[in-house]
Amino acid sequence: MAEVGEVKGEAKEVKKIATRTAYGKALVELGKVNPNVVVLDADLAKSTKSGDFMKAFPDRFFEMGIAEQDMIGTAAGLAAAGKIPFASTFAVFAAGRVFDQVRQAVGYTKLNVKIGATHAGVTVGEDGASHQSVEDIALMRSIPNMTVIVPADAVETQKAVFAAAEYYGPVYLRMGREEVPVLFDEDYRFEIGKAVMLRDGKDVTIIACGVMVAPALEASEELSREGISARVLNMHTVKPIDREAIETAAKETGAIVTAEEHNIMGGFGSAVAEVVVSTLPVPVEMVGIKDVFGQSGKPAELLEYYGLTSGNIVEAARRAIARKAGKASPARSRRSRRQ
């Protein structure tokens, strides 16, 4: 069972920090307490914010140039020699371009390599589809031994970085470019593989990760105004996924909505659905990118365009509830699913 986490008071003005910014700061803090931590980047240190570590610990920072394959291989060698390397680059390169290196030299070897993947999803914005990773969760979670973490805000990112260093084994950390609301206080508790219940509810459960957690909370508020009680789970660890929290949600709320900034095929929603169908099958509606590539645009415009807003989550929640047994005719629910 997931624990109920503290969400910051709504009265306070919402502070916004990009998770990549938190990543850079967390690496520096980690570097201070753990001399075995080393950081690599492939000519994106300014963007991934690993450059913060470079400034603080130049002897433990390795600029690998525009050579992601070599970076992952070098990280594996460093890990084999007892270091804790954080290899940083954009998600589209970290998971896609170097999939084989991650598979062979990190996953298969189960070496202690941490992959700090920033600029995930369409919120990369104007750079367009070539740089917008919509398939990295699917790729990384398909590799045995890999842990996949998608932090929702700056606080969670900081805690995830420390937790990743504490844990022995490969970890893929997925972070974003854009500023996102700070949702949690410093005393927020983070444990790999353990979902956090941000709101309790009985009619439907919204399970979200990463940048979709904030809109999931907004959606639950909107739904509550309609008299719908929506539980919100922050599933920061996509793998190993918190099966118990999902099964409990299925049992107690009878309908599930997943929300991810990623292709709905093979990604986070699929991971949740795999658990649902093998435990307690209930309607699952997936909010995510519908198997298309992104495009250039402002991050907010792109979230809207690809159906990744709180409003999309609200609609999905209504559909999921309508599909509960006895609530709707099969024909109607089929039609509504096609929206």
Partner 1 sequence: MATYDDSLIAMIEEKARRIRVNIIKAIGAAGSGHPGGSLSCADILAVLYFHAMRIDPKRPDWEDRDKFIMSKGHAAPALYAALAEAGYFPVEELLTLRKLGSRLQGHPDMKKTPGVEISTGSLGQGLSAANGMAIAAKLDKKDTRIYVLLGDGELEEGQVWEAAMTSVHRKLDNLMAFVDYNGLQIDGSVEDVKSLKAVGEKWRAFGWHVMGIDGHDIRQIMTAIDEAKQIKGKPTVAVARTVKGKGVSFMEGGVDWHGKAPNRDQVYKALVELGERIVDGGGVVNG
* Interface positions with partner 1 (CB under 8 A): 38, 59-60, 62, 64-65, 67, 69-83, 85, 100-101, 103-105, 108-110
Which residue lies nearer to partner 1 by CB, 85 or 201?
85
Least Å from the CB of residue 6 to partner 1: 40
Give the Cα separation of 151 and 298 in Å (integer). 22
CB atoms within 10 A of CB 280: 14
Contact 272, 235 (CB under 8 A): yes
Annotated catalytic residue: which of 13, 68, 221, 226?
68
Least Å from the CB of residue 102 to partner 1: 11
Rounded to the nearest 5 percent, the helix, strand and coil shares of the chain are: 45, 20, 35
Q: Which of 40, 174, 171, 37 is nearest to 117 (CA)?
A: 174
| Contacts of 292 by beta carbon, 8 Å cutoff, 6+ apart | 306
| Contacts of 301 by beta carbon, 8 Å cutoff, 6+ apart | none
Which residue lies nearer to partner 1 by CB, 69 or 296?
69
- 304 flagged as catalytic: no
Instruction: State the burial class of residue 187 (Cβ atoms within 10 Å of its Cβ: 0-12, 13-18, 19+).
Output: exposed
Least Å from the CB of residue 72 to partner 1: 7
Contact 141, 238 (CB under 8 A): yes
Least Å from the CB of residue 141 to partner 1: 20
Which residue lies nearer to partner 1 by CB, 57 or 162?
57
Least Å from the CB of residue 87 to partner 1: 10
37-41 and 16-18 as β-strands: parallel, antiparallel, unpaired?
unpaired
Please list, residue by residue across 258-272, b when 16 or more beta carbons sit within 10 angstroms of its beta carbon and e when fewer do: bbbbbbbebbbbbbb
Tokens 């409003």: give the residue. Answer: 311
Least Å from the CB of residue 312 to partner 1: 40
Which residue lies nearer to partner 1 by CB, 8 or 83?
83
Which residue lies nearer to partner 1 by CB, 62 or 172?
62
What's at 37, amino acid-wise?
A: V
Which residue lies nearer to partner 1 by CB, 71 or 275?
71
Least Å from the CB of residue 71 to partner 1: 8
Q: Mapping DSSP to helix (H, G, I), strand (E, B) and coil, where does residue 41 land?
A: strand
Contact 35, 81 (CB under 8 A): no
Which residue lies nearer to partner 1 by CB, 45 or 235?
45
237-239 and 147-149 as β-strands: parallel, antiparallel, unpaired?
antiparallel
| Contacts of 9 by beta carbon, 8 Å cutoff, 6+ apart | none
Catalytic residues: 68
